[in-house]
Structure 1
Amino acid sequence: MTRGTSIRIVTGTATVCVFDPALVRHKLEDDCDWWSIPGAELAAVNGGQVAFFNVGGDGAYDIALHAELAEPHASVHLAIVSGRVFIGAGEDVTGGGLEPDTAYGGLFVDVPVGGCRVQARRDGHLIRLAFVPDARSSNAFGDLVRI
């Protein structure tokens, strides 16, 4: 993964998602908005399949990648099985017969296989993310993750 990389994404769901497409391929034939049900979103986050970061509003966000964040607003443990994750708008998560691509935004980055902690910090329309190796790959959130 290239630290210092930045991209712009546009979300109509007030959500940024980070995930290894190999872990949610089973959702390919599910509804495209399967994750918009809070219980389904929370189950995917707690299972380490997808990090959904609710950003509070639709629109354009700049995403910047860092090696680590000193004061993240949230940290989500994520499983990585393919060595490749997608970062994009929530509506780009696998579902409805579609898998993520970068045609309409988003970015694929290479990360080590195993568990990682996705740190997130939001400063207005700038979202900083860091992927920190971690033995843990699941979570125990009681509510949706907001930054």
Structure 2
Amino acid sequence: MRGTFHMDTDTATLCCYDLAALEHRLEDTCDWWSIPEDELQEVNAGHCLFMNLGDDGLYEVQWGVQEAPLISEQGMCFYFQAPSGNVYLGSADDVSGGELEPDELSQGIFLQLKPGNYACAVLRKANQITVTLSPSVLGQNLLHDLIRI
């Protein structure tokens, strides 16, 4: 499975997460993740990957899902949990919070994956981002800083 989409972000951030993994943030404020400690906590728990881009704007995102394990040439690798398999990949402008979740009008796509843990490899060249997802044993991260790509 692979494809391409374009996203316009005002938060300079791409995110990837299973909606069920962030249900506990639905009642929180819409910008809860703008607090670095909260963002890092959710990334390390494997609930959401927030990939900071450094600049707002229009990005082309090429994505793929593969069964084979990821290899180092596929980019920086991070891990997340997909308890329901309903995964959103797109602009963090639409991340769950403020009693809202991403929908068909969001700047991203929904992927229907098998529930489980996933590795997410990310490569960036200017405004083109490549994201590759693959099943993984790992579902959490041990990061000390926010993800910047």
What is the TM-score of this pair, normalised by structure 1?
0.93
Of residues 125-134 and 61-70 in structure 1, the stretch that sits farther from structure 2 once superposed is 61-70
Equivalent of 2:89, from 84, 87, 90?
87
How far off its partner does 1:104 sit? 3.4
% identical aligned pairs? 37
Give the Cα separation in 1 of the matches to 2:74 and 2:33: 24
Quote the residue 2:44 is aligned against: 46
How far off its partner does 1:73 sit? 3.7
Quote the residue 1:14 is aligned against: 12
The list of structure 1 runs, each at least 4 consecutive aligned residues, that deviate by more than 6 angstroms after superposition, is none
* Aligned partners of 2:9 and 2:107 also within 8 Å: no
Quote the residue 1:57 is aligned against: 55
How far off its partner does 1:65 sit? 1.0
What's the Cα RMSD here?
1.3
How far off its partner does 1:102 sit? 2.4
SS in structure 2 at match of 1:24: helix
Give the Cα separation in 2 of the matches to 1:70 and 1:26: 33
Map Cα deviations across residues 9-60 of structure 1 (whole Å, 9 max, x no partner). Answer: 1111110000000110111110000001000000000000001100110001
Quote the residue 1:97 is aligned against: 99
Give the Cα separation in 1 of the matches to 2:101 and 2:128: 25
* Aligned partners of 2:74 and 2:132 also within 8 Å: no
Q: Please tell me the residue identity of whatever aligns with 2:59.
A: Y
Give the Cα separation in 2 of the matches to 1:70 and 1:138: 18
What is the total number of aligned residue pairs between the two structures? 145
Map Cα deviations across residues 83-131 of structure 1 (whole Å, 9 max, x no partner). Answer: 1200111121100110111213210012221111011111111110011
SS in structure 1 at match of 2:27: coil
SS in structure 1 at match of 2:39: helix
Give the Cα separation in 1 of the matches to 2:143 and 2:4: 28
Quote the residue 1:127 is aligned against: 129
Give the Cα separation in 2 of the matches to 1:71 and 1:146: 18
Question: What 5-or-longer segments of structure 2 have no aligned partner?
Answer: none
